[in-house]
Chains A and B, each alone.
Chain A
Amino acid sequence: MLIGVTLLTFLISRVVVPNPARAWAGLKASQATVEAIAVRYHLHDPLYIQYYYYLRDLLSGNWGTSPVSGQLVIDNLSAYFPATLELAIVAIIIAAALGISMGVYAAVHQDKTIDHAIRLFSLGTYCAPPFLMALLMQLLFSYWFRILPSGGRYSPFISRPTHITGLLILDSILTGNVQALASALIHMTLPAISLALITFGLIARLTRSSMLEVLRQDYVRTARAKGLAERVVIFKHALRNGFTSIVTVLALLFAFMLSGAIVIEYIFNWPGIGRYAVQSILALDLPAVMGTTLVFTLAVVLVNLFADIAYAILDPRIRLD
């Protein structure tokens, strides 16, 4: 799978691009620079040899140099990655909490008004373009109520916590820096909620339908019949069985969430890979865009792999061969 992914990115960056050497050198580069790039990346060789060098460069961390900033793409990516990871983790926690609880609630109150309201709300938020959600959040909470910052990841007036993991929230907790933690959380709120809102709908929908299916089964009736509290029946018996499909959708959502992050990071000026991708696109910076494409895709492939493993742990009937 990973071979296939790199083959496709290779084809895009070497074959689909009309003149790869010029694109990698930048539009203003001289003929000599273009030629140097062509030699450096073996662009005169046959494709399969080029692919060999491409793979070797990828594995050795040589992801090219941005013709716009002159910086190494891999350096930029690793500098921006923690911010995106942190945002995605917080957003997926919010989305899962919101989606699962609303889905369970809707399933338990099937066909009541609250059920319809939840379903409409989750469909509506799922259909909202990420920029609409982000702009509305920014407009309401930053410009009208003025209670939350409109962008950035951290207040420029507070010293940053020591760099341990790169995740600001975790770093501030580890160093016991309360002021830093508060600043990181405040800046995180709007982007994370925007990102969670565009994704929780799918979780709510799926939780609801798998709960409905489970709630109809015999063992749930048995559990009720033997007099267990409804809360125990729903959370201990039913939800646990609905979990496996929810894990799959969480993994699928991760890809969707990264796409949303591209837009939301840009609007909230969040210094992550998403904003880097948009800035690189606006500057027509090909190596940087190809680098972000690879990072995003590798992340999605890895998350799906973890989901498969989690699936087997949650559901003992499934065995990975």
Chain B
Amino acid sequence: MGAFLVRNKLSLAGGIVAAAYLVLALVVTLVGSHIVPYDPFVQNFAQTLLPPSSQHLFGTDDLGRDIFSRVISGAPIEAQIAFSVVLVSLAFGGTIGAFAGYLGGIVEEVVMRVTDIFLSFPALVLAMAVAIAIGPGLTNSMMALLVVWWPWYSRIARGEALSIKSSQYMEAARAAGLGDVQIVVRHILPNILMPLLVYATLDISNVILTGSILSFIGLGAQPPQPEWGRMVFDGQDYLSGAWWMSVLPAFAIFVVVLAFSLFGDGLRDAFDPKLRRR
């Protein structure tokens, strides 16, 4: 019991931090960057590379911009990437997987072989190749992540669909004369949504991590956008003299990723009682 409590406390903490981050991202999206102490874009060459202080919580960068303000105004970007990639993958991959599992036969065979091909690439490497092919940029990096992400969902959806395919209410639905599309949309998708959503929560941290690496290597949001991964990249040349420029945005990514994965872990344990005692 002790382990479960500790684990729950941790995932509760993770949930709180993740929620706080989402609220922050929402507020910044709605109000714009008026709430941050300094304009995240204005350069001030009288105040370059200042260490963290009470005036500049996270210090300033090589162009004299306040890093704390930039980190805060960059918050919505990661959330935007994570949610659009996860939700679209869930809808697209989930539907394809559900059809594959339900229909079986040649459809299933083809879909599973295609997902196998996608899954045999390391995620980051495939995303990198797609992103370079369609050109760097925030929207393009999201597209690249989508190309890599949907197969996981279709694989899970197929497994779940297979397991409920032979249940009695499926037979009843077929006996009632429903078509394949109606059965998948009305009976299978709602029933496999829960496991997919639990997986998606756990997956948000993976998307944020991979997305931040994509922007670190120059394929994500372009400067002067205050994107965290890009800020780390811009700051790493100044590491020896101004560590705050790269380490603090990287730490922001770490906190958000950790929060989502603690929360997702707890959620998975709660929904999968078999795993609880591990």
Contacts and interface: CB of A to CB of B under 8 A. Distances in A.
Given A16-B130, A286-B133, A300 B122 contact: yes
B240 A143 contact: yes
A138 interface: yes
A1 interface: yes
Given A111-B2, A135-B239, A281-B217, A17 B209 contact: no
B209 A1 contact: no
Interface in B142-169: none
B7 to A, nearest CB: 8
Contact of A123 (B117, B129, B236, B261): B261
A267 B218 CA distance: 14
Q: Which of B132, B134, B205, B254 has the most chain A CB atoms closer than 10 A to its own CB?
A: B132
Interface string A74-115: 000000000000000000000000000000000000110001
A277 interface: yes
A259 B217 contact: no
Contact of A256 (B122, B217, B250): B122
B129 A128 contact: no
Interface in A207-238: 209, 212-213
Interface string B1-24: 011001000100000000000000
A47 interface: no
Contact of B113 (A4, A139, A142, A259): A4
A281 B232 contact: no
B54 to A, nearest CB: 23
Interface in B162-188: none
Contact of B236 (A116, A129, A267): A267
B83 interface: no
Majority SS of interface residues in chain B? helix
Contacts of B217: 262-263, 266, 277-278, 281-282
A34 interface: no
Contacts of B262: 123
A135 B232 contact: yes
A170 B3 CA distance: 45
Interface in A243-300: 255-256, 258-259, 262-263, 266-267, 277-278, 281-282, 284, 286, 289-290, 292-293, 296-297, 300
B124 interface: yes
A17 B133 contact: yes
Contacts of B258: 123-124, 127
A151 to B, nearest CB: 11
Contacts of A9: 129
A105 to B, nearest CB: 15
Contacts of A124: 258
Given A1-B116, A123-B262, A293-B128, A281 B219 contact: yes
B92 interface: no
A173 B243 CA distance: 37
Given A132-B247, A212-B278, A281 B120 contact: no
B213 A262 contact: yes
Contacts of B113: 4
B120 A301 contact: yes
A131 B3 CA distance: 31
B219 A297 contact: no
Contact of A8 (B118, B134, B246): B118
A318 interface: no
A120 interface: yes
A1 B117 contact: yes
A267 B246 CA distance: 12
Interface in A128-180: 128-132, 135-136, 138-139, 142-143, 150
B257 A127 contact: yes
B125 A5 contact: no
A132 B258 CA distance: 13
Contacts of B129: 9, 12-13, 289-290, 293
Interface of B: 2-3, 6, 10, 113-114, 116-118, 120-126, 128-130, 132-134, 136, 205, 209-210, 212-213, 216-219, 229, 232-233, 236, 239-240, 243, 246-247, 250-251, 253-254, 257-258, 261-262, 265, 278
28 contacts: A4-B117, A5-B117, A8-B117, A12-B130, A16-B134, A17-B133, A23-B133, A123-B265, A126-B261, A127-B205, A127-B261, A129-B254, A132-B254, A136-B247, A138-B239, A139-B243, A139-B247, A142-B240, A143-B240, A212-B278, A213-B278, A262-B125, A263-B213, A263-B217, A277-B217, A281-B217, A289-B128, A293-B126
Which 9 pairs, one residue from A and one from B, show the smallest C-beta to C-beta distance?
Answer: A4-B117, A259-B124, A132-B250, A255-B122, A293-B129, A127-B258, A16-B133, A143-B240, A17-B133
Given A17-B133, A209-B278, A293-B126, 11 more contacts: A12-B130, A123-B261, A126-B261, A132-B254, A135-B246, A255-B123, A259-B122, A262-B213, A262-B217, A293-B129, A301-B120
